[in-house]
Amino acid sequence: MSKKTFPLSKEQLEEIIKKYPTPFHIYDERAIRENIRKLQKAFAWAPRFREQFAVKALPNPRILQVLHEEGAGTDNSSLAELVLSEAAGYKGEEILLTSNDTPADEFQKAIELGAIINLDDISHLDYLEKNAGLPKIICFRYNPGDLIEGNDIIGKPTEAKYGLTRDQLFEAYKMAQEKGVKRFGLHTMVASNERRTEAFVFTAKLMFELAVELKRRLGIHVEFVNIGGGIGIPYRPEEEPVDLEAVGEGIHKLYNEMMVPEGLGDVAMMTESGRAITGPAGWLVSTAIHEKKTYKDYIGLDSCMANLMRPAMYGAYHHITIAGKENEPCNHTYDITGSLCENNDKFAIDRKLPKIDIGDRVIIHDTGAHGSAMGFNYNGKLWCAELLLHEDGSVELIRRAETLDDYFATLKYPGSVM
């Protein structure tokens, strides 16, 4: 079981709301630090283990600074994310660019930063060389095809746009060798929100097999194996978290059996989790502003799917509690909705909750990854604020709420001042 708690009392929350009106996302610094430390502990056996935090999960430089203090690197998928990493103090090979259909300016920025570049297709090697030059270290993203089943979020590998086939992978490394590249890594990313221990161990097995074959066939001694992210979290209270110790132990056993005898016992290990680090450490705080009774009972919030897209996009479950009513019986059934002009703008459907009154603070759990990050401006909805709850109980504004001036700033029309 995964107990769903909020780190603030109703009274503490009301004091925060006096300064920062709802809606807002709030993140718990203590929980973020604890989550990355658990992952690091599980891989403490590995040479030079590093978590390359997936910036796309929570692209805020203040969060990146916290994670940098804990020894993390970053995994980036765009020019903006590379700049965010740079702004947060990451340097050189702490930065990894893993993108697809990559434009030249992203490659150029990665080269400027001295980042590791992870290529998504064999054709990108020539494009990279032509438009940005070759980096000191390259890895290629492996798509294992039907060897792994995938899941609903990331899709089946055979239908995914990501990565190289096995045959392409060896051809790509050979081409890079011939172009003079001397340093290499190996990468895959095949799961998202996966909670089965055996899935991560099996992925490591596939990658260790590739590392061994690269050495035997091409003489390439990879510097690191990146098994990607995808570590899931228990969104539902009845779900269990991933047993990170079991994952680490299972991969350690394979490493000793497969890598060490081949002279690869110095190969570093990487992960690129996002959700597992910040997901459970975030909450979307909203206020109930309307109650509607038609064919169903609806509670309308001052937030909408522009603030949290996952329930509408994936049908994803996010647990909901009502501040101050955590111990009251869940004897009312509601759809919890936002104001967007889309019928799927619902945070919950037929959810059993305590009676909700207008003005109640509605807490949506596990929004610390792919929450604010997936925000948008449809209907002219504005991005909400992001707050960081420090270990001493103080609160820091790390993204102010977007304003109408922000929304209009990029628009050009007759009568505008642009």
**Domain-located, residue 16:** no
Burial group, residue 404, by CB count within 10 angstroms (0-12, 13-18, 19+)? exposed
Q: Are 106 and 135 in contact (CB under 8 A)?
A: no
* pLDDT of 99: 82
Residue 401 lies in a domain: yes
CA distance 237 to 16: 27
Domain membership of residue 259 (yes or no) is: yes
* 3 state SS for 372-413: HHHCCCHHHCCCCEEEEECCCCCEEEEECCCCHHHHHCCCCC
pLDDT over 90 for what percent of the chain? 91
| The pLDDT value given to residue 30 | 98
**202 and 301, same domain (yes or no):** no
Instruction: Quote the pLDDT of residue 160.
Output: 67
pLDDT of residue 418: 59
| Pair (255, 316) in one structural domain | no
> Is 32 inside a domain boundary?
no
pLDDT at 100: 86
CATH of residue 221: 3.20.20.10
Write the pLDDT tens digit of every residue in 293-314.
999 999 999 999 999 999 999 9
Same domain, 124 and 253: yes
For the segment 10-42, what is each residue's pLDDT rounded down to a tens digit?
999 999 999 999 999 999 999 999 999 999 999
0.85 exceeded by the pTM? yes
Q: What is the pLDDT of residue 148?
A: 60
Binning pLDDT at 50, 70 and 90, where does residue 162 land? Answer: confident
Domain assignment present for 10: no
Q: Is the pLDDT of residue 161 over 90?
A: no
Q: Catalytic positions, please?
A: 341
Say whether both 72 and 188 belong to one domain.
yes
Residues 292 and 401 grouped into a single domain:
yes
Domain membership of residue 253 (yes or no) is: yes
288 and 267 housed in the same domain: no
The better pLDDT of the pair 159, 376 is held by 376
361 lies in which domain range? 279-408
In the predicted structure, residue 345 carries a pLDDT above the cut 50: yes
Residue 24 has a pLDDT of 98
Q: Are residues 220 and 322 in the same domain?
A: no
| pLDDT tier for residue 155 given thresholds of 50, 70 and 90 | low
What does the alpha-carbon distance between residue 229 and residue 216 come to, in Å, rounded to a whole number?
27
Q: Is residue 252 domain-shared with residue 401, that is, in the same domain? A: no
Co-location of 213 and 123 in the same domain: yes
Task: Indicate if 286 and 251 belong to the same structural domain.
Answer: no
In the listed set 252, 273, 294, which residue is the last one of a domain according to the structure?
273
Banded pLDDT at 149 (limits 50, 70, 90): low
- Whether 153 has a pLDDT exceeding 50, the answer reads no
- Shared domain check, 296 and 269: no
DSSP per-residue letters across 225-241: EE----B----STTSPP
**In a domain? residue 415:** no
Closest of 95, 188, 115, 209 to residue 145, by C-alpha: 188
Q: Taking 50 as the threshold, does the pLDDT of residue 144 lie above it? A: yes
Tokens of 16: 């925060």
Question: 305 in a domain, yes or no?
Answer: yes
- Closest by CA to 185, choosing from 231, 119, 237, is 119
